[in-house]
A and B are shown apart, each in its own frame.
Chain A
Amino acid sequence: DIQMTQSPASLSASLGETVTIECLASEDIYSNLAWYQQKPGKSPQLLIYDASSLQDGVPSRFSGSESGTQYSLEINSLQSEDAATYFCQQHHDYPYTFGAGTKLELK
């Protein structure tokens, strides 16, 4: 199985700031990486697919990038509604695997 190592496990930031969440794949996943936002009691919402493609309807302050097997989600100009848990997921090969999650708290 492909392991996805996500960091940090949690972070706290202020409104208007920029934060970055990272995922390291245990092998090459050829940009087949998705990012999700999940709020308590809700299903995950797809933000980014194919490492850097913005899902329809997702604000442009969310962006994805990659460097080798390291993938990053950047959230610019943090808004209060961005408080949530974020997960990465490789969609390169079965079994699809997810990162452990990053809980983002707004100060």
Chain B
Amino acid sequence: QVTLKESGPGMLQPSKTLSLTCSFSGFSLSTSGMVVSWIRQPSGKSLEWLAAIDWDGDKYYNPSLKSRLTVSKDTSNTQVFLKITSVDTADTATYYCARSPLYQGGFAYWGQGTLVTVSS
């Protein structure tokens, strides 16, 4: 059974660095073809894909945020991390990690999301 769960600080101040963790089970990120993405959603708005990392360690970023994003994974291939630097109120959102089934499009597996509020 595939499960993903996000964790984060809940609230942080503007200009700080946001650190998020996606912990997952039921698969290994070392499996060929596996990719984990980060997606966010401000309250009442649409979804924005942020970044992804694949089984080979290749990283993909949304160009609109690329200079502020860093995605990484742990050596045991059971966690993925996302850092966003210089946050401001526009970064307030629910952050999800998600995964597609192997060799299939669309995100079939999502975490429950973690709400991050940027406020002074």
Q: Chain A interface (Cβ within 8 Å of chain B)?
A: 1, 32-34, 36, 43-46, 48-50, 55, 87, 89, 91, 94-101
Are A34's CB and B106's CB within 8 A?
Answer: yes
Q: Would you list 15 pairs from A and B whose C-beta atoms are within 8 A, ordered by A residue? A: A34-B105, A43-B96, A43-B110, A44-B107, A46-B106, A46-B108, A50-B104, A55-B106, A89-B49, A89-B106, A94-B52, A94-B60, A95-B61, A95-B62, A95-B64
Report the separation of the CA atoms of residues A46 and B100 in the bound assembly, to the nearest whole angstrom. 10
Q: Which residues of B contact A95 (CB under 8 A)?
A: 49, 60-64
Report the separation of the CA atoms of residues A55 and B101 in the bound assembly, to the nearest whole angstrom. 10
Which of the listed residues B60, B106, B108, B112 has the most CB atoms from chain A within 10 Å of its own CB? B106
Q: Is the interface of A mostly helix, strand, loop or mixed?
A: loop
The residues in B between 29 and 57 inclusive whose CB is less than 8 angstroms from any CB of A are 37, 45-49, 52
